[in-house]
Each structure stands twice: as structure tokens, then as C-alpha cells.
Structure 1
Amino acid sequence: MIKKIKWRNSIHFKIPMLFIFLLLVSLQIIGAYFIRQLESDLISNFDSQMSLNVRFLENSVTPVLESENQEEINLATQNVLRDYIGGDFLEVQVIDAKGYIVGINDQTRQSMVGTKSTDRDVQQSLLLESDRKYQYLDEERNSRVLKTVSSIFSPTNPDEIIGAVMMESNIEVVYTQISEVVQILVSASAVAVVITIFLAIIISQGVARPIAEMRTQTLAIAQGNYSGKIRIYGNDEMGQLAETINDLALKVKDAQETTEAERQRLDSVLKHMSDGVIATDRRGRVMIINNRAVELLGINQEDAVGKSIMKVLNLDKTFTFRHLLEKDDELILHVENEDDKEDSTLQGEFSIIQRETGFISGVVCVLTDITEQEKIEQERRNFVSNVSHELRTPLTSVKSYTESLQEGAWKNPEIAPSFLKVIATETERMIRMVSDLLHLSRMDQGNMELEKEYISINDLLSHILDRFDMMVQSGALRDKNYQIVRDFTKRTLWVDVDQDKITQVIDNIMNNALKYSPEGGTITCRLMETHNSVVMSITDEGMGIPRKDLSHIFERFYRVDRARARSMGGTGLGLAISKEVLLLHGGRIWATSLENKGSTFFISLPYVSFEEEEWS
């Protein structure tokens, strides 16, 4: 149904009004400029004419004013002023240097001759020796008057003023001429407006007819009727538009069918994507949510449908739906899982469903679980940060001591050896760190090959502890009074391991036990077996490990007491390497600790019991 258009909104009204408006604006601009210019020219011409009259009168009365006989001055001046009676001259006065009127053109006011002028402009002109000119409205005559007061100077002495001329001219005649011209211009404008209205009505009818037909046809297309055609009246822009709409009617049906098919395919893709997918309407209410999205968000599908996507994603406190539409970057969502599961990190990418007209009909959100990627990325960042920090400390020391040696410290036999010792120590520390990092890198890449062989773990552990017994009984550790206690099972345990790698693990733990044990401390080493494992434990009586740090000690570069660990030369990688080595063997390592009591590290290796005869 075509809605009726009000007359003031119709194109039949708007086009004539547009033409009239443009014409009036043009006439207003042209008329204002023309009248302004005409007024300026007429007033300028009138002013120039009056200025000539004043100059001529000055030249005529100058010889008269130089006379000493007052009666001759009055008579001669009156004769001159006879030429200024009538016309545009309202009043002309000649005043001498003392301010007395010596002549006036108005015959009815001859009694003023010989009296002193009371005109303020004349008095200021004589006093200041300057001319004055301005317009004013004479209420008695009800007309505008141009008043000119000019000083007269002696021809023999230019600095001596001998009188003044006051002339009032009727300038109203100029404004009368301007008013007559304005009336003519208004009359011509009225005729032009009438002609413009007539032409505009004819033009609007020629434009409105094809537009009305186009409107009817487009409404029919919107209702699904594509059979009608618009009549083409000419080969102009309107005709081209009508032809375009006719072509549009033939193509809209196919486009609509194609759009419907694409929509159905899109629905199918959304439902079967491996990532979580949420589709909303234009107000942000959830219309479609697939099973993967339900699983990632930990919600029920029935509760999510019809609910705002901002509440489903827990974004209503930080964003509005409009902000979500305007945001180009993806969002990182943190989902708290129940049942003591690790919290999930989701990446949400939002795509606006927009028609060709620009109308936004909804949003599609794709959720990807990036929990593992974020965890790996965080570990990578921490690793790079730790490596940079750990390498910077020894490098700074080496640089500082090297600069001191370069500046002349090498000449001092007392401090130069200690400086070189520090440089060597820090260099060895960096070499150990790089070597440990290479070991970890090979393990991470799976390039570490184990050279396994069956060995007696009893003999291996005894051999390692014998070496540490020698260390604590000699050298710098002799005064520490450390004791190493052994508690081994009587049964010989054979395991299939890489002897060098396991030795490295036990060395790392024993070195840590010695570092953190107090003087006179006891280190207890035990060896036992379970039904499928060989378990070694090493217990010290050191400061212990706080509970909050216990689960992190096998992470790379993690230190409970960083300052003390660095001072003892540790790289922070020993326990991490030990963990990786044992994982390659199918074993594991863990620790228990009590603060200020000591720590115990456990090493577990796979073990299969067999009789000694089978080995033989």
C-alpha cells in the first residue's frame, strides 16, 4: 500500500519552492550589491559637488575677508552668497576669524549677520583649524542634511585662519532617487518570481511523474512482485534510472534465492565447526550456539539462546554491545572452570553480519581454546627473561672487572689475580649455563639419545657417594664437618639406564644438598625398591623450601633464594635438567621439605625384578 504524501512534502511543492528560494537569494544578493553601489556612487557624487561649491565659495570670499572695512566685508559677502540661494543649498554662512557671521544666503535670516555664530562645529573648526563634514537628520525639515564646515586660511600666510564657511545641503534628494530605484527592482523581482513559479510547476510535473512510477515499482519489488516495468520517458538521467530499476527487478529474485542458500550453508557451517561459534541478532541476543561453544563456556545451550552475548561471555561489566561492534581486535576471555580444573583461556574473534546497505543484522563470535598456547607462550617469555637476566649478571661482572684491568688494575699484583679469578669464575658459570641450555634444548627437540645399559644402582650410588666423601674430607669443605650417611637395601638392584645421565642427576642433588646444609650437617642417602620402581632419596638439614615454592623448584631458572643461589654459582637449571632426564627414562623426581628443618629429594626409576640366574 502506497502511503499518501502530504502536499508540503511533495516534490510538486519542493521544486517550485527551491526555484523561488534560489531566485530570491540571487535577487537579494544582486539587489543588495546594486543598491549599495548605487547609494555609494550617488552620495559620493553629491559630496564631491558640494565640496567643489565650498572650495569655490572659499576662493570667492578669501579676498573679501582680508579687507579691514567690516561693512565692505558684509556687503561683498552677501553679493557672493546670492549665487547660493535655492537648489540643494539649505543654508550657507560665511564667518570671520573672530566667529562673527559676515554673510548668510537665507534672506529671511539676515538679522544674524554681525552676530557671533553659536554653531559648535564652526567654533571647533576655527579653534582647531580643521574641516568637519557629516550627515544628520533635520527634524524640522524631515530630511537628511549634509553639513560641511571648512576653514579659510590667508593666501599670504598659510598658517593664519581668516574665517570659515558653513554649508548645509539637502542630501535627501539622493536617498529619494535610491528609493525609486529600489521600487523598480522590487517590481521586477515580483515579475521574475511569478514567471519562476510557473516554470517550476511545469518542471516539477515532468520530474515527479517518472519518480512516482519508480516508487510504485520499487515497492512492488520489496513485496516480491518483479513483473512490473517502469515507462521510460526519455534518454536522460531519469530514463537511465528507470531502465536500471527494470533490470534490478529481473535480478533481485535470483539474488534473493542465492542469499537464502548462502544463509542455509552458513547455518550448517556454524553448527559443525570445531571451534565454538555464537551467532546473534542485531540487538546482541544469542540465536545460534554450537556444542563446542557450550563446552568451552561451561553453560547450557537452553540458557544461552535468547540471552545477551555480553552476559554469556561475561563482558557486560567491561564492554557494551556497541563497543563490541566497533572493536577490531580479538578478545581474550578467561573462563573459570569448576571441579578444580585449570581455568581456560579463549580467543574470541567477532565478525559483523552486515547487509549490502550497511545495516548490521547480527554478530558471529568464533571461540578458540588457546589455553595451551598461552601457557607455552608465557613459559617462553619467562624463559627468555630468565636467560637474559641470568646471563646479564655474570657478563656485567666480567665487563666491570675487565674495564678495571684495562684502566690499570693489572699492574697491581695484589688485586689483579683476584680480578682474573672472578672473570674466570663468571666465565665458567656462563659456560655451564650455556651447556645446560643446550642439553635442555636437545631434550625439548627429542634429539637426546640415551645410551642405556643394565647397571647395579647400588654400585653406582656408592661410587658417587664415595666421590663426595672425598670432597667433604678435603679442600674447602674440610672445615664444614659434613657427614654423608648411607641407608641402602641389601638387595642388588639392576636398572636399565644411561649411567652418565643418572650420575649427572644425582650429582646435581648432592651438590645442592652440600650448598644449603649448615656446618656439621648430615646428608642421608637412601636406596629402596617398590614392586615396580627403584627409589633413591637424598635428605639434607638445610634451610628447607617454603611450601609455596615447592611446586616450582623444577622449573627452569626458578630459585627460592636468588641472591644466595647466584653467590654459590648455581645456574638455576640443574633440577630442570634432572627432571627432563628422568622423564626420558620413564621415571620422575619430587621433593618434600620443612622450613628450617631440611629437604628430601626423591628419584624414582622403572625397575623390573628378575633372578640373578636369568642375568647369567
Structure 2
Amino acid sequence: MKKKIRFYQSINTKIVFIIVILLVFALQIIGANFITQIERQLVNNFEGDRQTQITFLESAILPLLEAYESDEDAETDPREQINDLLMEFSGSGITELQVIDTNMVVLGISDSTQQGMLGQISTDADVRSAHLNGDTVTRQVEDAASGRRWKIVEPIFSDAEEPEFLGVVLMESDIEDVYNQIAQITQIFLQSSAVAIVLSLILANMVSRALTKPIKEMQTQTRAIAEGDYSGTLKVYGEDELGQLAFLINELSDEVAEAQESIDSERRRLDSVLTHMTDGVIATDRRGKIVIVNSMAETMLDVTGKEANGRSLLKVLDIEEELTLRQILEEQEDILINGSTMGVPTILRASFSLIQRETGFISGIVCVLHDVTEQEKIEEERKQFVSNVSHELRTPLTSMRSYIEALADGAWEDPELAPRFLEVTQNETDRMIRMIQDLLHLSRIDAGKSELDVELVDITELLDHVLNRFDMLIHSTEYEDKKYNIERHLLDRPAFVEIDTDRMIQVLDNIMNNALKYSPDGGTITGRMRQTEKAVIISIKDEGMGIPKNDLVKIFSRFYRVDRARSRAMGGSGLGLAISKEVVEQHGGRIWAESVEGKGTTFNLSLPYVPFEEDEWS
């Protein structure tokens, strides 16, 4: 934001003010010294002139005083001659002349209006002082009426070898003209100073503008640089300090522009990296307040950047009750937190690292969020799988161990128990072998090593073949205690699909075996087929106890059983449906179940088929 500079704060005003103050100060010193010297010189000249005059007057009056003191008879009275001499000598700035004898009597006076003082004793203190001390008295006298006067009282001595005091001469001169002249000189100086000050103001303003113009241009350019505009270039007016500064600012502008372009490029690259990262990234300041959050982190935490910025990292991650910021700074251990992506709960691993300067000062924290929902799910399934395998293998092994121990303890000698114990042991061994074969099959599928031997097969004929086998099975002695019924709703025409016949028969056998296991006595198993534009759908429905809705999505998991006790009693391992799902998906198909508790379950199998015209096979 541009701050307005007041008039008295500008450099231009300050420079003009300083120059004028310096000039006034210099004029004051020069004027005081000049006028003092002029005054002293004029006063000294005035004193010198008056001293010359009084010396000349003293020479002229000396013989007259000598004659007056000798009392010799003369044609004329010395006092009249003295008085006439004084009246003739007066003028040229001399306001008053007096001659006083040794008895302090006024012998002559130049002022015609004061002739009455002749013969009177003088009361002048300066005359008395000169009379008593024999020294010249010189001083300035101020009179309210006549102004300033210069007063000289000069003692007169004879020219004898031993000078004799004959009297004094008093001279008063008008010195006001000298001071008027000094005042005129002072007034002329002041007028000249005022003119000089005005001219200096104009000159100082011109000089100041010449100095401040480049500075203002630099100010404008630096402000533009601060606002991100690097296009301007300063004009270099010379090679002085300001010119060099302007040149350096131009170079600085170019370097800052290049640096800013590099920073912008790096920022765009960083933004692009953060935007397209599959991990969420959150950066905070040193107080743990969020300053950067990428789009993936927003998605993982179901929060917008506007909502997250400025908030505490602990609060956004919802871990403020479990951890403190200090613990994160000290431990920097990964933690698991709950997230939500598109409304679906997820598990996130939060990794923390510090943003530190070279001095060790911590200026922030970077938190990287990685979606480990699938890994955690796989890990949980692995643990569950290991637990299930251990449990499934332990049960037959425990049973076999019990029968073998009984045989070892002598049951082998019992003709009734021994064959039965050996049969159970053999059945449990066969069960473990089937389970291990199923596990090896799943392992090969997971490793991508299970290859299909596909051929073009009429799936209608294949399903009819499987249903015929199970129709014969339910009428065998094995199921003589139960009554089952198998219904068929097959296509009335061939539907060719590319399948591995053995694998697909294994899938259909698994589904039919489950239907027989869970169907009640007298129940009906229905095999149905239908055809869409791209697939053949096989449905096998039983009338058993059904599967709870919450368990439908889990029945294709390995070792999963809805009713573990009943399934194990019926000899199931929990791998049949898992193998069926993998085999169907290997064929590019899909398998799913629909069920209503108490009314039965329907398994649906969708396989892609190859349409053909009869002419192709004629």
C-alpha cells in the first residue's frame, strides 16, 4: 500500500529547508561580522577626525590661553578671541565647543544661544575629571533630544620644558549620522539577504528537484518491483552516486525478475507435483497451522483447502486427543488415522517430517498421507487366512492324533473299532489333501501361474451334463434317506463360450454341492439359463436356509462360512466359493449370489459367449 508523504516530510522540502537555513545562518554570521566591522571602522574614522580637529583647535587656542594666563595688556581681550575662534571653528558636525581655564571658568563657547555661560564655572563632570587628572576624556553621550553625541575633553598644557596646565577644551560632535549610515548599510544588507534567500530558495528547489527526481523514479521502480512488475527501466542521468544506484537498481530488477521467474516455475512445478500426487500432502507453519494442502489430501480428509488453511493440523487429522504437537516433533512416527474418500471410510498412514533451517530452527511440519486401506485389508485378510488355515488343519490333525493314539493304545486289536478308526483317519487325511490342493490352486491363481486350457464349448450341453450327474447322485444309496428334486430351465439352442471345461465343471460342482448340503429334505434345486447380447447367465437356486444380507458380500472370501459349526460338520473347507470366484473371473465372467433368509439362495454365473450363425457350422 502506497503511504502518502506529507509536504514537510519530503526530501525535496528537507533539502530546500537545509540549504536556506545554512544560507541564513551564513548570512547572519557574515552580516554580523560585516556590520560590526563597518560600525567600528566608521566610528574609528569619526574619532580620528574629531581628534585631529581638537588637536588643531588646541594648537590655535594655546597662545591665547598663555596670553590670558600671563595677564599682559593686549589690544584685544584673549577671551573674545577664544570665543570668536570657537564660533568660527564650529560646524561640520560639531555641536558644541567650550574652553575652560584652570579655575573651571568657561572662557569661550561656540553656541551663540548659550553665551550666558561665559564667565560661569563649568559643572561638567568630564571637564572636572580632565581638570583634576590631566587626562583626555573621550566618551559617547546619548541625549533624548539631540541623540547620540561624541564628547572629547582635552587638557591643554604649555610648551615649556615643564608643561603647565592652562585649561581644557570640550568638543561635542553629532555621531548620529554615523549610526544612521550604519543603519542604512544594515538595511541594504538585509534587503540583499532577502533577495539572496529568495534566489537561494529557487535555486535550492531546482537543485533539490534535480536530486530528488532520480530518487522518486527509483522509489516508483522499487515499488513496481515489490508489486511484481519488472518491466520498467530507470534512466541513468550521470555517473555519480545516484547514477550508479539507478544502474544497480536496473540490474537488481533484472536479477529479481529472473529469480521470480525461476521461483514461479518451481512453484508451478511443485503445485503440479502436489496436485498429481497420489498421496496427500499437508504443510504447516511452526505453530502447527496448515498453510498448504493438496487436492489429494482434501479428498482423503473430505475437507476443502479453504476450510483447512489456518486450522490446527491435529484438529484436521482428528488426533488432538491422542497426540500433541510436541510429541509429533520429537517422535516423528507414522500413525494410522481414519479418513473418508467420496464418503467411503478409509485408513490413512500419516508420516511426519520437520522443515528445519540450517541453524536447526523448526519452521514447520510436512505431513504425507498415504491410503493404506487396501494394504490394511490385505494384511487383515492375511492374518485371518493364516488363522483359518491353522484352524482348519489343526482340527483334522487333532482328530487323527486322537484316533491314532487310541489305535496305539490297543484299539487296533479290536475288530470293530480298528476299521472305523482307520476310516476316520483316512477321511481326515483326504480332507487335508483336498484343502492343500485348493490352497495350492488359489496360490497359483494369485501368482498368475494358473493357465486355462480353453476351448469353444456349448455351455447349455455342459450344464445339462452336470445336472444329469447330480440327478443320478441324489438317486443313489448315498442320498436314499433324503428326497431331492432337480429342475431344468435351459436354453433351447446352443450357446458357445470359450472355457476350460474341467475348471468350469469344478465351479458348477461346487455350487451344486452347496445346494445339496443346505437344501432341506424334499427341496428342489433349479438350474436356469438365460442369454443377453454379450453373456450367458447360469442360475442355480436352492430352497435352503438362505444367507443373511450382511454375509452375501463375504461368502466368496477364503475360509468364510456363514455358519461355521454346520459347514464344518458338513465337511466344507470354506475355499470352494473362493476358488469358483477366481476361476470365473479368469474366464472374464462374474459370479454373485442372491438370497432371502428362510427361502433359499441363488448363485448366478455370467460368462461371455461367442454368437454364431448356423451357416458357419453347416
TM-score (norm 1): 0.55
Following TM superposition, by how much is the alpha carbon of 1:284 offset from its aligned partner in structure 2, in angstroms?
0.9
Deviations 1:180-236 (A, max 9, x none): xxxxxxxxxxxxxxxxxxxxxxxxxxxxxxxxxxxxxxxxxxxxxxxxxxxxxxxxx
Following TM superposition, by how much is the alpha carbon of 1:393 offset from its aligned partner in structure 2, in angstroms?
1.1
Contact 1:270 1:277 in 2 (8 A): no
Following TM superposition, by how much is the alpha carbon of 1:282 offset from its aligned partner in structure 2, in angstroms?
1.9
Following TM superposition, by how much is the alpha carbon of 1:357 offset from its aligned partner in structure 2, in angstroms?
5.2
Following TM superposition, by how much is the alpha carbon of 1:356 offset from its aligned partner in structure 2, in angstroms?
5.4
Larger mean Cα displacement after TM superposition, 559-568 or 443-452: 443-452
Q: What secondary structure sits across from 1:510 in the alignment?
A: helix
| Distance across 1 between alignment mates of 2:410 and 2:268 | 79
Which of 574, 584, 589 in structure 1 is aligned with 2:586? Answer: 584
Q: Equivalent residue for 1:509?
A: 511
| Distance across 1 between alignment mates of 2:575 and 2:563 | 14
| Distance across 2 between alignment mates of 1:461 and 1:357 | 77
Q: Equivalent residue for 1:302?
A: 306
Deviations 1:209-266 (A, max 9, x none): xxxxxxxxxxxxxxxxxxxxxxxxxxxxxxxxxxxxxxxxxxxxxxxxxxx9999999
Amino acid at match of 1:327: E
Is 1:335 paired with 2:339? yes
Q: Equivalent residue for 1:456?
A: 458
Q: What secondary structure sits across from 2:572 in the alignment?
A: coil
Which of 599, 602, 605 in structure 2 is aligned with 1:600? Answer: 602
Which of 563, 566, 569 in structure 2 is aligned with 1:564? Answer: 566
Which of 405, 428, 438 in structure 2 is aligned with 1:426? Answer: 428
Q: Equivalent residue for 1:293?
A: 297
Q: What secondary structure sits across from 1:571 in the alignment?
A: coil
Amino acid at match of 1:468: F
After the TM superposition, which residues 444-523 of structure 1 pair with which residues of structure 2 at under 5 Å, given as runs? 444-523=446-525
Deviations 1:248-305 (A, max 9, x none): xxxxxxxxxxxx9999999788643533222222211112333332333232222222
Q: What secondary structure sits across from 2:421 in the alignment?
A: helix
Matched residue count: 355
| Distance across 2 between alignment mates of 1:349 and 1:422 | 54
Q: What secondary structure sits across from 2:480 in the alignment?
A: helix
Contact 2:542 2:602 in 1 (8 A): yes
Q: What secondary structure sits across from 1:345 in the alignment?
A: strand
Q: Equivalent residue for 1:278?
A: 282
Amino acid at match of 2:312: S
Q: What secondary structure sits across from 1:376 in the alignment?
A: helix
Contact 2:495 2:610 in 1 (8 A): no
Deviations 1:307-346 (A, max 9, x none): 21112212223322222223342011211234xx432222
Q: Equivalent residue for 1:388?
A: 390
Amino acid at match of 2:334: E
| Distance across 2 between alignment mates of 1:526 and 1:301 | 54
Which of 368, 382, 389 in structure 1 is aligned with 2:370? Answer: 368
Q: Equivalent residue for 1:542?
A: 544
TM-score (norm 2): 0.54
| Distance across 1 between alignment mates of 2:435 and 2:266 | 54
Which of 398, 401, 411 in structure 2 is aligned with 1:399? Answer: 401
Counterparts in 2 of 1:594 and 1:320: CA distance versus 1, 3 Å: same
Q: What secondary structure sits across from 1:447 in the alignment?
A: coil
| Distance across 1 between alignment mates of 2:319 and 2:265 | 29
| Distance across 1 between alignment mates of 2:423 and 2:269 | 69
Q: Equivalent residue for 1:413?
A: 415
Q: Equivalent residue for 1:345?
A: 347
Amino acid at match of 1:298: D
Which of 528, 531, 535 in structure 2 is aligned with 1:529? Answer: 531
* Runs (5+) with no aligned partner, structure 1: 1-259
| Distance across 1 between alignment mates of 2:460 and 2:313 | 64
Amino acid at match of 2:321: K
Following TM superposition, by how much is the alpha carbon of 1:355 offset from its aligned partner in structure 2, in angstroms?
4.6
Contact 2:280 2:294 in 1 (8 A): yes
Counterparts in 2 of 1:264 and 1:457: CA distance versus 1, 3 Å: closer
| Distance across 1 between alignment mates of 2:402 and 2:332 | 49
| Distance across 2 between alignment mates of 1:611 and 1:354 | 74
Larger mean Cα displacement after TM superposition, 262-271 or 397-406: 262-271
Q: Equivalent residue for 1:324?
A: 328
Contact 1:487 1:524 in 2 (8 A): yes
Amino acid at match of 1:333: I
Larger mean Cα displacement after TM superposition, 427-436 or 400-409: 400-409
Amino acid at match of 2:314: M
Q: What secondary structure sits across from 1:519 in the alignment?
A: coil
Q: What secondary structure sits across from 1:503 in the alignment?
A: helix
Amino acid at match of 2:506: Q
| Distance across 2 between alignment mates of 1:398 and 1:328 | 52
| Distance across 2 between alignment mates of 1:536 and 1:348 | 46
Counterparts in 2 of 1:428 and 1:412: CA distance versus 1, 3 Å: same
Following TM superposition, by how much is the alpha carbon of 1:358 offset from its aligned partner in structure 2, in angstroms?
4.8
| Distance across 2 between alignment mates of 1:276 and 1:595 | 43
Contact 1:525 1:536 in 2 (8 A): yes
| Distance across 2 between alignment mates of 1:610 and 1:301 | 57
Q: Equivalent residue for 2:180?
A: none
Counterparts in 2 of 1:268 and 1:345: CA distance versus 1, 3 Å: farther
| Distance across 2 between alignment mates of 1:276 and 1:568 | 49
Counterparts in 2 of 1:320 and 1:280: CA distance versus 1, 3 Å: same
